[in-house]
Structure 1
Amino acid sequence: MKKVYILSAVLAAFSLQAQFTVTVQAPADFKDQDAILYTLNGSKDIIVTKEHSKNNTWTFKYPNHYMGMMKVYFPGTNNTINFISENKNINIKLDIQNNKIKDVFYLDEANDLMSKQQEGSQKKELILPALTQIKEYYKDNTEFGKALNAEIGRLSGMSASIDAASHPFISYYNTNYNKFLGNSSDPSKKVNQDEVINFLDKSNDMLESSSLLRPVLVAYLNSGGNANVTGSVDKLLGRLKVETPRGQTVLSELIDIFDAYQMDEFKNKYLGLAKNLKCTITDRLASTLKSNSNVEMGAAFPDYKFQSPVNTTAKSLYGVKADKKVIVFWSSTCSHCESELPKLLEKYNELKSKNIQVIGLSLDVDHNSYAKKIAAFPWINDSELRGWNSTYVETYNIHATPTYFILDANNKIINKPEHVGDVLEYFKLK
């Protein structure tokens, strides 16, 4: 019993040591009161907790060890701030103008360093080549020449390595970003597929929380070429093993990548693999399976409770009664929506005469832009005004706008058109 007690005490002490807080301060005129803290798993944001403002300050307590990307989202004003955790207290101050974030001040050491590193990388990529050319026209002993040399030296030195012992996540992120994603323009520095596979297999848990996984996988697929996608994926999954958490996270990311790029053949192949797994399924893969099953042909389209609907008295999607429904996910800033929705508008009266209802769910963030657009659309419209943070993005597996679904009178999916022309053709209105 004594040994068990001592072990429990050690674990409790470690738990207390691992805990850190995230503190966000905003000016008194910032309207939002609620904020949500997220961690990251691959490319998917994971909700940790929600906090209410106390004197325009939000304090989140994170009880576990975590190194990686985090974000705080303000749902009332649709503001987001991104930052990192190195398992130490995080302190952020916001500058607000017209209820939007104008500037972010990182007051803790790790985020201040990461912010400067990111800024330096952008300047090095965009400004340093121009300054180097300008330097040829100024003598080093002039005031401007001295200042120019100083800035060139400063920008050149910004790629200096970070001490991994002091800042493990920043070191991990910079090292692997530069190796796998930062040398695309230099063929001599490109890594081969075996190096990528080894990295994905041997990397520690910071891979999932770093935001690097999805772009590294895209780069890996591109390196194998369009003619050998199956070979590349099978080689990768064979090494990682889909029974492992890492293998299932990668499998989930690949399914989403194929979905986003409309590579249906590969999406269906590896979605089938995921469905047939007999082992324990991770939460990450389970969420991908769920969002895909929600929108399979013949599935009951999940109900959605409207927020601020127009052109209807119905309280939810199921509350709209019609022989058929056309659901369209769109945005006022989407160029394809700009060209497609007017064609739907031209045939709207004919659709309505056949008791076919159109329901638009918008991924807008700006109320004025959204309001101007829907003024021309006589069908049912609704929006959470949260963009890609909208709840229906994951529920309905949305990867692009516009996305269409056609439902029958019982809200079952009977067609998934790719374009507005397919919608009109289905109803013989083209």
Structure 2
Amino acid sequence: MKKIFVLIFLISSITQAQYNIKGTITPDLKSDWVILYKIEGAKQIFIKNTKIEVDSILIDDKKQAIGNFNFTLPNDAAPGVYRATYRLEEHGYIDFIFDKEDITFVFNPDYPDQSVLFSKSSENIFYKQYLSEISKAQQTLDSLQITALRNPSLDLKKDYKTALQQVENIQQGYLTASKNMYVQPFIKATLRANPKEIKTSPNEYMSNMVATFFDNMDFSNKTLINSSFLVDRITDYIFYINYSDNKETQQKLFKNSIKTVLSKITDLSFKKDVIEFLVTQFEESKNLELIGDLFENYYKRLPENIQNKKFINEKLSLFATEIGSIAPDFSWKENNKNYSLSKLNDAENYVLVFWSTDCSHCLREIPELHKFMQKSTKTKVIAFAMERNNSTWNEMKKTLPNWHHILGLNKWENKTARVYNINATPTYFVLDNTKKIIAKPDNISDVKAFLENK
């Protein structure tokens, strides 16, 4: 009998030792895997992956394919925001709160946040209900505000105050009901800092929104930090709230909004993650000015022990040869005299070309370039030959006088060629007198067109 009780206890312990996360994708997206991550700061930490099992259901007498997936989390799994990613290339994912309870939900993969329905999980059901109610009330308030901006003559003050009171009542009710719940910090942070009086001018309205955008967000709260909430709001603030069609104005807005955001973050690890996140965002648009600003004015001012030197080197090397960057420096010897790219001052512009004597395209284009450049007195060529030895190069350079010639041994493994990310020859760069890259022509025709129009 004692053994039976022990066996029952063990079985009971096993059943309580894990939590089930069950998701249904409808319609099925024809993908094989779902990956589960835990959100920590601006990063996602891999937890596990699982296969999607395809099934079907009847909808209006027609079979509809659906995808089911299931994760199990151990009893000691940390509460937090988790992410189920089902489209890696298209960044398809759905976030949910885990706080020591089973979770079951269904969603459409094309608009997961709007379509998700939780059938199990008190935290997620409660938060989803809150978001629905507060969104409707906020939309009513926003509608009145927009109407007032479009028709300043209308007296909507009373209606606005009534709608504002409704928003605040809903907020207060959910704050009270969420006491001791994991979700409460999200409820506190979600409420917009709505003005007490209706605004009558667009500038006044936008100024108030920008000034109060983060008023209800606690950047030191660990629950918010370890979720996508703050990063999503930071993204909205920097890339959408602070927007201008004018390129120069937009750069200033970017810099000011970044300064505002990073001044609010006291957690150094989270600040590091946010800066890295912003660098990757500006990487997509190749905004070298903002990337440089983020590194010089923020990232490199973090304590050295939390800086990721590999990240710095990788990102800076990616943009070392983009238009707008100062060309990476290198040195060489020419006619028994030492030269370096950064100190050259014998022309207004330079064509830096990486070529090779065993490249058929080069053997056609390099003589053509030499002939064309004879007409130019303001531009000089720096010919960097990527060779395995110097025998052929020594003879060929004699046919290309008045150029700066550099021998780069080890060809594709040459250190300078690697810095410039050279993977084909010839590769052209046009530099101004400060050695800033001002063009990256694809071929000799592009070189000619650029210099002729300069």
Report which structure shows greater RCO (CA 8 Å, sep ≥6).
1
What range is the shorter-chain TM-score in?
Answer: 0.3 to 0.5
TM-score relative to the length of structure 2: 0.45
Report the TM-score, using the length of structure 1 for normalisation.
0.47
| Larger Rg, first or second structure (1 or 2) | 2
